[in-house]
Amino acid sequence: MRVTEQGLDAHISLAAAGDSVSATFAVCDAEGRAIWYGPFIDADADHPRGDQLAAAMGAAGRAIWLAGRAREDTGVEKVTLHLAVSEDGLDAITLACTASMAGLALDLIVTEDNPALDWCQAFGGLDWTSGPLTDLVDPEVPQTIPTLRAITGGLDQQSEPQERLDMHELALDPSMELRSALESLLLHDAIGMDAKMRHAIAAVVHLAVDTPHGPPEDAEEFLGRLDASWLVAAWLGHDTELSLIATLAAGEIPALSWCELMFTTTLAPWSTSPVAVHARRVFGTVQRGASLGAVRAQVG
């Protein structure tokens, strides 16, 4: 903590986002890592019920509550919460009052570059750690780097460009564009699709693309990977992925089988859908991985 003449002064930097379509929320720390995300529960008082502003307000409220807990755990009297959101129509007065009740001064930053948005589409959920949240509290605002280092909005315009750490630079990996294109195949016109199926699509794409053997070389290999036996052989030793495979392959209508059918038709050579054409092109730009046959040998 930094002790000033006015007393203790500390800062917390968070990002929050909500998605009304999937009824999910996410709260990220200053590095863009999710510390709390998942679906709103039907019984929740802040459930958005299809209202995007309500989803964003609900996520912001949860971020404020989390920061308030961190302030209590640290025992600091004065804490400023730098909260990044993506909607500019939020009720700032209500949020400021909520923050004040939690012993926080609210600095609301509206930015399109919000790492919490991606976590709203992530499979499953993550509960905040029930232990002390003192790690969220910074002793002072950095003077030469953004307050919320994963977000570029609301920064001091005098900062040098190379000092800004963009969220996309943090999250960038060779298969990101491929995953995004494949997910878009099934989600681009998925209005009304429930959160469970949206998460299932994201999980299936992750399992087929991010294997230790590397990404698929083409659409045909990607489709060949949408098989539970192949995926189990590819992810041996990775408990989280093996658990996902078991979940996706279970049920009366397994999500894995549904995704295989949908991807087979949408990635077919005769498909002229713009997203399908883009996905087929993206396969040619990713780093080549191990051949499909090399893993099929393990399955057999």
Stretch 278-292: mean pLDDT, rounded?
58
3 state SS of 198? helix
Contact (CB, 8 A) for 155 and 84: no
Give kind and range of the element (H or E) at residue 28. strand 24-28
pLDDT at 296 over 50: no
pLDDT at 154 over 70: no
* Each residue's pLDDT tens digit, 168-207: 333 345 678 788 878 877 776 555 566 778 888 889 999 9
Mean pLDDT score of the chain: 74
Stretch 160-172: mean pLDDT, rounded?
37
**Structural tokens at position 230:** 């192949």
pLDDT of residue 54: 92
Name the residue with higher pLDDT: 299 or 130: 130
DSSP state at residue 166: -
Stretch 155-180: mean pLDDT, rounded?
48
Contact (CB, 8 A) for 143 and 134: no
pLDDT of residue 204: 92
Contact (CB, 8 A) for 169 and 142: no
Stretch 107-134: mean pLDDT, rounded?
78
pLDDT of residue 83: 93
pLDDT band at 284 (very low <50, low <70, confident <90, very high): low
Report percent pLDDT > 90 for the chain. Answer: 14
Non-local (6+) Cβ contacts of 227 within 8 A are: 260
Gyration radius of the chain over CA positions: 22
pLDDT of residue 232: 87
**Structural tokens at position 80:** 């400023």
pLDDT of residue 60: 94
pLDDT of residue 133: 56
pLDDT of residue 207: 92
pLDDT at 121 over 50: yes
Task: Print burial letters for 114-148: b (CB count within 10 Å at least 16), e (below 16).
Answer: bbbbbbbbbbeeeebeeeebeebbbeebeeebbbb
* Each residue's pLDDT tens digit, 196-252: 788 888 899 999 999 888 888 888 888 899 998 889 888 888 888 888 888 888 877
